[in-house]
Amino acid sequence: MELSEQELGRRQALAALRELGIDPYPAAEYPVDAYSDEIRANFTDLPTTLDAEGNEQPGVATPENSRRVCVAGRMMSRRVMGKASFSELMDSRGRIQIYIQRDAICPGEDKTLYNTVYKKLLDLGDFIGVRGYVFRTKTGEISIHAQELCLLSKSLKPLPVVKTDAEGNVYDAFSDAELRYRQRYVDLLVNPGVKDTFLKRATIVRTMRQVFDEAGFTEVETPILQQIAGGASARPFITHHNTLDTDMYLRIATELYLKRLIVGGFEGVYEIGRNFRNEGMDRSHNPEFTCMELYVSYKDYNWMMSFTEKLLERICLAVNGTTEVKIGDQTVSFKAPYRRLPILDAIKEKTGHDLSQMSEDQMRTIAKQLGVEDTEKMGRGKLIDEIFGETCEGTFIQPTFITDYPVEMSPLTKMHRSKAGLTERFELMVNGKELANAYSELNDPLDQEQRFIDQMKLADKGDDEAMVIDHDFLRALQYGMPPTSGIGIGIDRLAILMTGQTSIQEVLLFPTMKPEVK
C-alpha cells in the first residue's frame, strides 16, 4: 500500500527516535495518577499576595506550592513559541493544556529532548506522558507545567484535523457515515459526543442490571450455538460444527433456554447478550444485536407492563437526569404509566377497519387496500401484524403498550383469559418502533406442541420465519413450568431512544458493514 507524504514523514521520525536511543513503544508501566476532568474540578487558585504598592497579585505556582500530577494521553495540538510551547493532551476523560518550557524539561546542557524530539520528531496523535504541576495561565486556563516529558507510543497515521472557526463553522469534519462506522476508533477521537453516546449505553445496561439484581433475579448465560433456532420468528445464520458433523445455528433468541431454567427452579432469570438474525440492514436493524430477556415465575403480562415502565423510567433518569428525551423534533416521556391499547383496537383507531370479525380472505382484501404486499402466503396473524406495521406502528411516539395479539402470531404465549382467539402478549412501541416484546408465557405443553405444529404449517405455506418444533423444550414443559411472564428488550433500540439518536449504527461501536473495497 502506497504511503502518503505524512505517513512517510512519521516513519522517518520513528527511525530517528530509535537512532537517538528512544524506544517509541516502551513496555514499562507509566504511573498515571490524575486525569483532565478531575484536575480542573479540584483546582484551587493560590492565595493572592501584596506587592510593594499594596496591590493584590495572583499567587505564583511552583513545584513546591502546587499539585504535582502525572498524566498521559494523545498530543492533539501544539503551538511552539521558541523556548516554550503549549500542547493539548487528550486522555480518556477529556483534554487539558500542557505548558512545555525547554529548560524545565531539559535542565542540563543537552536540549535534544525539546529541540529535536518534541519540536521535530513528535507528531499530533502521539501518546506522551507528562509529569508536572498544575497552574492557571495568564489567560485563565488551568494547565500543567511540564517538568518531565516522554514518548509512550508513536502514531504512524495522521488524525483528521477538524477545525472550528470563531463563527462555529466546522471544516474538514470526519463526518462520512461509512468512514465513521468502519473506522470507529478515529470517529471516537475526533468527533465530540460520540464517546458520550457509548458511555450512556453502558449506563443503560448497568442500570438495568442493578434493577434486576435488586429484585433478586439471576443473570445467566445460555448457548449461542444452537441445534434449533427457536424462541422467535426470524431467519437464522447457519454454521457447521466439524467434530459433530452437523449444522448449527447462531441463536435468534434466548427464550427457550431461559424458560428451561424456570422449569429447573430459578424464580427469575435474565440474560443480556448477542442475538443473530440473517435479515436486512437499515437504520433500525443490524444482523447481530444485543437483547435482554427476563423471565419471572408467578407473574403475568399485566405485572410485566408495570415493571417495564418503572424500569425504563429509572434508566432514563440514570442516563439523562430526567424522564424526557429529545429525539429529532419529538420529545418522548418515559414517565410511568404508559398507555395500554389492544392491537385490533389500534388498527381500528388508525384505519377505521374492525378486523375482529373478518375472515382471512376479507382481511387479505383490506391488507391489499392498505398497501400490504405479497399477502397470499400470509395467515391471519401475519396479516394483522403486517396491517399494524403498515398503518399504525410508526404513529405511536410516546411509550404505548400494544396488547392482546392474535394466537397465530404468538406461538409461545398463553391464551387470553377472557378474549377468545387472542393471547396475553404486548409489544411496547416508542417513537414509532417496537422496543419490547412480552408475554404471559405458555406453560401448557400440549397446547405448545400444537402451536409448534401450526407454525410448521405456516412454514409449508412459504413463511421462512416460522418456528420449528423444539422437542426438548416440549419435554421440559412436560415436567411443569409455573405461571411465568417474560420480556425481551432490544438494548440497541433502547440506546437509540435514551441518547436521542436516529439510527442503530450510531449506538453500535462496530456495526455490520459491506466488505471494504481495497
Q: State whether 272 and 316 are in the same domain.
A: yes
- More confident: 454 or 507: 507
pLDDT 10s digits, 117-164 = 999 999 999 999 999 999 999 999 999 999 999 999 999 999 998 777
Q: How many domains does the chain have?
A: 2
pLDDT score, position 232: 82
pLDDT over 80 (residue 460): no
Cell of 360: 382471512
User: What pLDDT does residue 163 have?
Assistant: 78
The pLDDT of residue 282 is: 92
Do the strands 68-81 and 84-91 form a parallel or antiparallel pair, or are they unpaired? Answer: antiparallel
Residues 135 and 236 in one domain: no
- Per residue in 274-307, pLDDT tens? 999 999 899 989 999 999 999 999 999 999 999 9
293 lies in the same domain as 412: yes
Mean pLDDT of 398-406: 96
Residue 232 lies in a domain: yes
Mean pLDDT of 258-283: 96
Average pLDDT of the residues in 240-248: 96
Q: Is residue 184 part of a domain?
A: no
Could you give the residue ranges of the DSSP H alpha helices within 123-183? 177-182
Burial (CB < 10 A; 0-12, 13-18, 19+), residue 188, is middle
* Residue 408 within a domain: yes
* Packed helices 445-460 and 471-478: angle between N→C axes, nearest 10 degrees: 160
Let me know whether 154 and 198 are in one domain: no
> What are the DSSP calls for 152-167, one per residue?
EE---SPPP--EE-TT
pLDDT at 463 over 70: no
Examine the domain organization and report whether 219 and 146 are in the same domain.
no
Do 139 and 255 lie in one domain? The reply is no
Assign residue 90 the CATH number of its domain.
Answer: 2.40.50.140
Q: Percentage of the chain surpassing pLDDT 90?
A: 81
Q: How far apart are CA 10 and CA 179, in angstroms?
A: 23
Higher pLDDT residue, 187 or 230?
187
* Confidence (pLDDT) at 312: 98
Same domain, 95 and 198: no
Lowest mean pLDDT among 175-179, 227-231, 495-499: 227-231
Last residue of a domain, one of 106, 139, 159: 159
Print the domain residue range for 496: 194-338+398-506
Tell whether 199 is covered by a domain. Answer: yes
CB 239 within 8 A of CB 249: yes
Residues 6+ apart with CB under 8 A from 364: 375, 376, 378, 383
pLDDT tens string 11-59: 999 999 999 999 999 999 999 999 999 999 999 999 887 777 777 778 8
What digits encode the pLDDT tens for the residues 404-415? Answer: 998 888 888 999
For residues 126 and 267, state if they share a domain.
no
CB 360 within 8 A of CB 383: yes
**Average pLDDT of 477-485?**
97
Residue of 438 and 421 predicted with greater confidence: 438
pLDDT at 464: 66
Ramachandran region, residue 445 (left: φ > 0; alpha: ψ -120 to 50; beta: rest): alpha
**Residue 490: which CATH number?**
3.30.930.10
181: closest CA among 286, 87, 253, 264? Answer: 286
Computed over every residue of the chain, the mean pLDDT equals 93
* Same domain for 223 and 145: no
| 444, pLDDT greater than 80 | yes
pLDDT in tens, 362-390: 999 999 999 888 888 788 888 998 999 99
For the stretch 316-331, pLDDT in tens is 999 999 999 999 899 9
On whether residue 172 sits in a domain, the answer given is: no
